[in-house]
Structure 1
């Protein structure tokens, strides 16, 4: 339940929140006049409603509230004189910023952007009138309202191409602004030249002959090897991002200006939207938020982890920084640091209005100087991140790829234009870099279209893994290299990928060839932004890994865990995932620890699961065998029938997907049950438990191994009524949804069948086997979100078995209301139905749908030799369910009552769970 609450609220809150002067043909950044034609000035606070103190500030953060609530003197823009007169064209489409495009009589397009933000349109409609919306709006105070103005002196000094913004207020002018006057008239914002996308335009931004968005730039770079990004200019811009603490630099935060230089066109970066520069996430709530979404970095005097500070921009970085080696990187970092002088930082602070020249301004100046002093260390960490796994793009022209493995372990990569007649390189390389094994683990080169040739040569004692991925066309691959370190069990260091039947391969001693055919992404966003991660690892251990549950058998249980995922090339969604978690049940005073691994790289297209667990909650009770087992009224039930045991299991399972919703599996388990009982048998001792008095088979034979196989079909995930369910429709097979999400389904079904064999081994002195079935379906009802859930299950055992392997009934998973493991036998069957009705919706922090539920469950066990035991054990109950925002985030509370307890002592049990019981 705790995990669901964190995911709902923090996901919503998360939503809130260079040019090279020596380049021939490059233009200077466009500069607005420092003094705009105005209709006078006005004193206005960016947003006085962000003022707070005391507990609110402690919980939600001080942020930049003092800046937001301090009145500043701002010019009122004379839109009739500026740029010869402005005419509004249309509203912008930003997620939070309100913007208006205006065209001047000089032919230039300008953009007015609001200083304050409106996060409502980023939120689901169900949240827009909730307290979450109020909190989200309040958290806008984490932005510095004048960040775009503060950035201006730094971009000018570094020569970074940037659309400079000037602070102003739009006038109330219905005649000029027309339909936009109601929204924008009197609004505080900034005016800037809009770097619009344009293939060819005489009035293009900064004199560029073309201006493109990021994805169109990628397509342009691939289409022609004469199209290049100025990597050093981009690196300058990114180092400035680190310095400013601007963590939100995704692909749409950039435009690209192209300048012809002979046959080549060089592309300069144009960073946009500096709203997240200097963002502060202090306070309890924002701190927790940054634990869940770690790329939301708090601006301070020191740098946070560079991995997360650069995370939002990682995809653009990995495209545009591949040609820069360590020496060049360090030189550019020193150049940037040298420009960021004390006087420049002071000049930037002085651009703030007089009323803001206070202690916070002094702190900001001090923080910027400290970050400048440590910029080289931050730059070095950034280099290590992007040097580890490098993706290099060829082009759709004929390319000649030359890779040389050097004796010291380094690898030289050069890409030339190719003479198609001779299939040889020509001219100088248009890409060249030497990779150091101290920094680089893998190099991937994508050759794309047309006919290409790859030649890998050189001998070395150790080297870097190289992957070359061919594209359309008749390609040739030659591996003439040799790496001595691999020994007798030689591993591959060169990988060639090409599915074209006309491709020619010549392998070497360390070569592996892959002809797998991959599907083509449907659009540019899928192609460049939603590709599975294929490098590095990720570790989650924050508050998002908390979990909680409750039932009458073991009381409240709280736990925490951590999860590690390792990513590798073409291993989706990961190469392996490992998790460890632990919890403590306060009612039974017992603990549980578990380790789980999901290995996808063992056999392609399968999942190898390795699990280990030790728990005191697996075998809580033993009441004896059969349907007629009685409860002794003279003894305390908890003391008499409780078992003191600790079960330890180690399991391996191979899962083989047959379709998006069907899998087969085979596996092997080891189990050890450590049972605590008195060494002597004394029936008159009232401290003796039922288990100790009867000592069934298994008290001493407490170890076994088992082999099992089965299959399961589960169509529930795709039928959850959730706005974010699209991920379940693709066959990525990533354990597509949690059990809590699946049980919230409104239609669909699940079926699981498993057979298990226990051989005569370890302390199991005779073999036995069992078969287990679980089946359920969901029938939608006419009333919104209402459904009838049905389930049926059973288990059958053949051969003598230890008591802890019996077929049990009772507890949350079979018969609610009955104590856990109330009945035991050679076999069992159980069935249940649960009516889940939608009643209404209300708002408390978030929109909450809720309704009643009612259930009836029945079942019985079978025991060889038991006579006149045809009684069925039935329970009934009801409760409430609550869905937060949508049914994917559901909790249910229920009470179950037995109506046919064999002993006549009917019991009641309570349950609180994420999702539903089934």
Structure 2
């Protein structure tokens, strides 16, 4: 009887821990596949035992298993320290990689926050280094997914009915540089569309979503701690970017949960928190498996199951459709026996068969059908205003119906299957695959700009203008390209225009792809060796993958002649949209090397043209120069290179001026009149009749001008040239000639560091090139530089890279050579050079996207205050860029304000120059107030009286002031800086009759008629400290701004006494949700002057600065204290045809007081009030406030918050 009781007890125990017995797996059930999840593999006492347990199960699973590593694969302490050669020599990491190496099944690594260096600036670069290290070590192909820092999603078929989706969730949270367009989309909305499509595509399968960050958790990152101290409370309420409380994480969770809530049977597996957790949400599941090395506190009540133990999770899929979850742990320290801590039946699902799916889809035959239809009617207009200001463009071509075939997905190319939706800002596209493996693409002729503009601009006049701008593109231009490309020797597709009907066979894509015109063409992907297209290549690479391979070793050779030919052909066509993703690369094996040649794609902007006044303004050099129009002459050739600015500098660095001229003349010959006429004749006859002859005429004129355009574009690119090596070791040789020209050659080095193949050569001339930059990447590079020019020659910058490099500089001139590397470099003792070495992580990094255009932009300012009346201002902002100067080389701002109520003006000038001395910047300020500039004076002290409350003219004063402040700025990181400088300050009070300042009989007025109205001049020094962690300067919702400064004034005149001033101002902003609906803003500050200061330098309280409810400059004294509180509540977002943005309410409360020597005052002045705020397009702030105090009630209108 006892044994039956024990059997019953263990049965009940099994039910409570391992699930209902009816869901247990019988011996006859065949295990189909197992997926193992392990996250946060760092250093810890139980790592070895956990890995041994994992190793045993992996060996048992073999090819029926998949291992998913969920990020944070190396400890943060190791990852963030400085490393030579990007080696990740961590024993725990390499032991784990050895374990993975022996595994016969699939392996997937996905990154966490530590692979992105914990959100630091160089996170993307570090991630790429780690990806390369892991894949090189394992030699298992592309196992680090998504690759290249992209977010995904990546679909991996684990079996016929099990799909693993992998995303990089840290991409969403990373605040530094990260890829977007390189990944095939422009923003997070595109990513969510791709993820949604992936869910829908696999709705008939068992789906797993793997990422590092969970959406549900009971761990520390979700704000749960065993003891809530100050740090824990901060993480719970405000949080770092890695915590649930962070607005970035909140936004990611909100959007992802909206998407996942529509899914069934989705198992989302993540790590991040160091525990094992499980939770069911509707028909989906969250698994947390982040305790591979360490276990931390988890709140069991927040999840269906949670365990604070080191271990991993496992999903078992069975042939009968059942799915089970398991948690395996190693127990406590010292216990090494594997332990199945938890198992749970999740669901059972048997997918529909292919025959059932075919029966579900309706079979339709559209073969041999045609239709007459226009590309779009929305651009057709008779409005003279629109035609004058937005242009005639190609409106008639868009509105003219053409005869086209109806697209039959079941018959075209023998039948096509849909792979996925394409990315891109404006074009709707579908990727298709034929039975022979060739891929094709459907791309909408109509463009949809809603994704190309910010949310705040949608359904506004601005949105209408952007959409109308599509009429500037020729709808069928791609059809005219093939014959010209063939003659020019440039790879191309064979596009045709088709009509896609409302076809149920499009499945989940049916609603977005129906009843309109599409361009159908070959997609440059995969193996085309059985075709004459793309040179018959067997392999086609994206630009991203090419760069990855090219940096790896010098056996990958870019055919720069082919690149030059293709780019000159682009200029001939006026195709300005040639960014990295607009290219694919055909790969060929030749003489032991891999030669790659460019394949241009997506010819949407060929023949781009507008004659509108607004577009004319927009394409000025100082606005958006890339929008150059297709005309017989080219206004700004360099503007055509804006979108290709990284591409051109990466793949044309070896081409000389003579080669550009030769190639241009060769194209001029090959693009004959007959070729141009035949090509344009391939346009639909209905639109050829409208503009065909004009296009032909312009093409012939541009062909004749092609040599001149080539010379102009070459001159633009030649000003600064990057010569980039590989991750192997290279020898860089450079020597100057007497004429100032510079010969550069790069050789491959053998493993014994012997010179081998020449891989780069070019001679640079000082009348063309200012700077040549030689970039070593990794490896042990050698730089041998000789000679010096007789005059001003080409400057040379040597960037060693991350390896242990050697520099040998013989007979050089300091002004000509700069060396960038770590401080401990191997260089000959007699070398003469500019020493730019540093221990900064950025010093020897190659940033392919460093080039930036200089920018000129306008500035506006406006204010209205009851006391001052209307003040309007305008100015200009000029930003220049240069090598290793981030975020800019120099910036200049000039602003002029004019006050209408008392005619006077104010001039403000700011100059910033970065890195004038290593990490030290220069900042210079000049402010000038004209003689009639207005201020206010009520007497000194905290209890000064305002006896003219109805009319404050009595208290007005006028003064002229000039201040000049050059200073040096020391940047410790992106948030902290110290400024130190000297200043000159000159001011003079005006003697204005019938004013308080000249009423010497008034006992409150203690001004000296002689001394205080004389010209006051001071020379001094200042030191400032600034801490700025705000998420926005215009609309801050989180962060801190703290500025403290000290000034020493030394008088220059007989009436000017010496004095000192110290001040500090701290502001705190926080909100609880993204986007911020309510922002709490707090400010506290104060200042103190020593004895001897002039009236102009008194510390003040008043409206606009620090005490609302009181007039401007209401109180003045030696010292001042103030505290301001704002609650900024967003009522609503709005969108009208003319304007869009946000508006809300503002409530505020201010207190403050001043002190003067000898005064005894207990008064604390109090102001309060409210108002409205408006943020047009979220680019600026307009506030209208009504403030109250016991003394006055005041209205103010400003283009800013007070703080």
Per the shorter chain, which TM-score range?
0.7 to 0.9
Report deviation, 1:611: 0.9
Alignment match, 2:414: 84
2:469 counterpart SS class? helix
- CA distance 1:681–1:191, shift in 2 (3 Å): closer
Provide the residue aligned with 2:546 in structure 1.
217
**Of the candidates 365, 381, 401, which is equivalent to residue 712 of structure 2?**
381
For structure 2, which runs of at least 5 residues remain unmatched after alignment? 1-185, 190-365
Give secondary structure in 2 for the equivalent of 1:215.
Answer: helix
Alignment of 1:108-119 (within 5 A): 108-119=438-449
2:908: which partner in 1? 594
The residue that corresponds to 1:863 in the other structure is 1156
- What are the superposed Cα offsets for residues 380-433 of structure 1, whole Å, 9 maximum, x if unpaired? 121112111111122334433221211111111112233554x54345x23111
| Bigger mean CA deviation after superposition, 365-374 or 44-53 | 365-374
> 1:286 deviation in Å?
3.9
Q: Which has the higher mean CA deviation after the structures are superposed, 375-384 or 100-109?
A: 100-109
Does residue 476 (structure 1) correspond to residue 806 (structure 2)? The answer is yes
The equivalent of 1:158 in structure 2 is: 488
* Equivalent residue, structure 2, for 1:721: none
In structure 1, stretches of 5+ residues that fail to align are: 1-13, 17-36, 484-490, 719-736, 901-905
Q: Could you tell me which residue of structure 1 aligns to residue 676 of structure 2?
A: 345
Q: CA deviation at 1:662?
A: 2.9
CA–CA distance in 2 between the matches of 1:128 and 1:226? Answer: 48
Change (3 A) 1:753 1:476: closer
The two structures, once aligned, show a CA RMSD in angstroms of 3.6
Give the CA deviation at 1:287.
Answer: 4.6
Partner of 2:1081: 789
Distance 1:66 1:343 in 2: 26
Match 1:227 to one of 535, 556, 560: 556
Q: 1:764 to 1:410 in 2, by over 3 A?
A: farther
Provide closer, same or farther for how the CA distance between residues 712 and 90 of structure 1 changes in structure 2, counting only shifts above 3 A: closer
Partner Cα separation in structure 2 for residue 419 and residue 641 of structure 1: 82
1:758 alignment partner in structure 2: 1049
Q: Once the 2 structures are TM-superposed, how far is the Cα of residue 445 of structure 1 from its aligned partner?
A: 1.4
After superposing on structure 2, the runs of 4+ consecutive aligned residues of structure 1 that deviate more than 6 Å are 198-204, 678-686, 690-694
In 2, distance between residues paired with 1:408 and 1:424?
Answer: 31
Name 1:510's counterpart in structure 2.
832
Instruction: Indicate the residue corresponding to 1:910 in structure 2.
Output: 1196
Distance 1:585 1:375, change over 3 A: farther
Q: Is the 8 A contact 2:372 2:403 kept in 1?
A: yes
- Out of 1014, 1017, 1027, the position equivalent to 1:703 is 1017
Q: 1:804 to 1:186 in 2, by over 3 A?
A: closer
User: Tell me, what secondary structure is at the counterpart of 1:546?
Assistant: strand
- 2:746 is matched with 415
Aligned residues: 831
1:168–1:189 contact (8 Å) kept in structure 2: yes
Matched with 1:626 is: 941
2:1090 to 791, 795, 798: 798
Following TM superposition, by how much is the alpha carbon of 1:774 offset from its aligned partner in structure 2, in angstroms? 1.8
SS at match of 2:430: strand
Cα deviations across residues 607-649 of structure 1 (Å, max 9, x unaligned)? Answer: 32111121248652333333454456599643x3333322111
Tell me if structure 2 keeps the 8 A contact 1:50–1:138: yes
For 1:93, the equivalent position in structure 2 comes to: 423
- Residue 242 of structure 1 and its aligned partner are, at CA, apart by 1.7
Give the Cα–Cα distance (whole angstroms) in 2 for the partners of residues 475 and 246 of structure 1.
42
**Alpha-carbon offset, residue 677 of structure 1:** 2.9
Displacement of 1:148 in angstroms is 1.1
| Deviates further, 789-798 or 611-620 | 611-620
C-alpha distance in structure 1 between counterparts of 2:552 and 2:1140, whole Å? 49
| Aligned counterpart, 2:925 | 611
CA distance 1:276–1:518, change in 2 (3 Å) = farther
DSSP 3-state at the match of 1:297:
coil
d(CA) in 2 for partners of 1:668 and 1:500?
Answer: 31
Asked if 2 retains the 8 angstrom alpha-carbon contact of 1:698 and 1:804, the reply is: no
Residue 1170 of structure 2: aligned partner: 878
Match of 1:895 in 2: 1186
CA distance in 2, matches of 1:307, 1:87: 42
Distance 1:540 1:680 in 2: 46
Shift of 1:757: 1.8
Query: How has the CA–CA distance of structure 1 residues 156 and 911 changed in structure 2, closer, same or farther, with 3 Å as cutoff?
Result: same
Q: Please give the alpha-carbon distance, in whole angstroms, between the structure 1 residues aligned to 2:780 and 2:530.
A: 34
State the shift of 1:61 in Å.
Answer: 3.6
SS of 2:779's equivalent in the other structure is coil
Q: Distance in 1 between matches of 2:615 and 2:995?
A: 60
Matches within 5 A, 1:30-41: 39-41=368-370
1:798/1:183 CA distance change after superposition, 3 Å: closer
**TM-score, normalization: structure 1?**
0.82
Q: Rate the CA distance shift 1:581–1:387 in 2: closer, same or farther, 3 A.
A: same
1:784-817 CA deviation, whole Å, 9 max, x = no partner? 6223333233222221221111122222112224
Q: Deviations along 1:730-785, whole A, 9 cap, x unmatched?
A: xxxxxxx53x23xx32x443333222221232455321122223233345479962
In the superposition, relative to structure 1, how do residues 200 and 411 fare at CA in structure 2: closer, same or farther (>3 Å)? Answer: same
Gap change, CA 1:768 and 1:910, over 3 Å in 2:
same
Give, in whole Å, the separation in 2 of the partners of 1:322 and 1:499. Answer: 26
Query: C-alpha distance in 1, partners of 2:895/2:1180?
Result: 21
Decide whether the 8 Å contact of 2:492 with 2:533 is kept in 1.
Answer: no
State how 1:536-615 maps to structure 2 within 5 Å.
Answer: 538-541=854-857, 544-615=858-929
Deviates more, 1:790-799 or 1:62-71: 790-799
Where 2:926 maps in the other structure, the secondary structure is: strand
Question: Which position in structure 1 is the counterpart of 2:1145?
Answer: 852
**Contact 2:731 2:782 survives alignment (8 Å):** yes
CA distance in 2, matches of 1:527, 1:131: 42
1:486-505 correspondence runs (5 A): 491-499=814-822, 504-505=826-827
* d(CA) in 2 for partners of 1:398, 1:683: 76
